[in-house]
Structure 1
């Protein structure tokens, strides 16, 4: 995971529209960056720092899985920590309130250029409980990874960060089966989004399975 971090951060952040470089990723990783003076584009730097903090939390989760804890139970316990760490630099910088990163979203969200409308806020808790139950019942790590990513992004439980957390969930499930960390290239973003759209709108997950298998 550590060896893959810089590449993973670049592609995952770029998929979400952030403009990051190796220099920026290394700077925020080392703790040298300060949001009030060093970078002209604080939005990208805050996202990069948040990604690094979330990645550290995911590493702890994967370590617990390698020590014998159940991967689905770890995901249920730690997923909200991954998400809150991702946005903690924005809280520290005073851009968002601490309450904004606690719990599931309380407002309806829409996905740009998608025909899929995520679940209403009232349905989130039951949907997420169902997702975790399904992960606990599924014995195959590869299936947990694919369905975990798809269903999480289908539910879209947070106001922001769903794609990044969904990819963390996918890789945590893959790690539980001994698979390598999977990086979705930003160059294949259109294929990735089209496959998720097909699964969400047409209930056809085959293109998404084939896409992930081709990476």
Structure 2
């Protein structure tokens, strides 16, 4: 399983069991980033302006079992965050970003 797909699955499953009264989203995002970092990806972020889309795609994953929209969303956020880091550090696009784009293709 591709690391970004695995990270999305961990996120979906953790939120699905909802083990805490508060903080499930924050913990699931930490777990998602832990998976990414274990596979040598940078941690990803979801900008405030995209939170609605994040919630909608997560609801779709839990509602009808279609994980693809959320997985694509996580892939897009990972790619976007990587690009932001690379731009700030003036580093050319690495091979790994092309791998992320393949998930969305």
Partner residue of 1:180 out of 42, 45, 50 = 42
The residue number in structure 2 matching 1:200 is: 62
Matches within 5 A, 1:154-173: 154-173=16-35
Would you say the 8 A contact 2:9–2:71 is kept in 1?
A: no
| Greater RCO (CA < 8 Å, at least 6 residues apart) | 2
Instruction: Please state which structure has a larger fraction of its residues in helix.
Output: 2
Per-residue CA deviation, residues 27-51 of structure 1 (Å, 9 max, x unaligned), is: xxxxxxxxxxxxxxxxxxxxxxxxx
Larger Rg: 1
Per-residue CA deviation, residues 44-85 of structure 1 (Å, 9 max, x unaligned), is: xxxxxxxxxxxxxxxxxxxxxxxxxxxxxxxxxxxxxxxxxx
Would you say the 8 A contact 2:37–2:43 is kept in 1?
A: yes
Where does the alignment leave 5 or more consecutive residues of structure 1 unmatched? 1-138
Q: 2: distance between equivalents of 1:143 and 1:192?
A: 15
Q: RMSD of the TM alignment (CA)?
A: 1.2
Under a length normalisation based on structure 1, what TM-score does the superposition of the two structures give?
0.35
Q: 2: distance between equivalents of 1:154 and 1:142?
A: 18
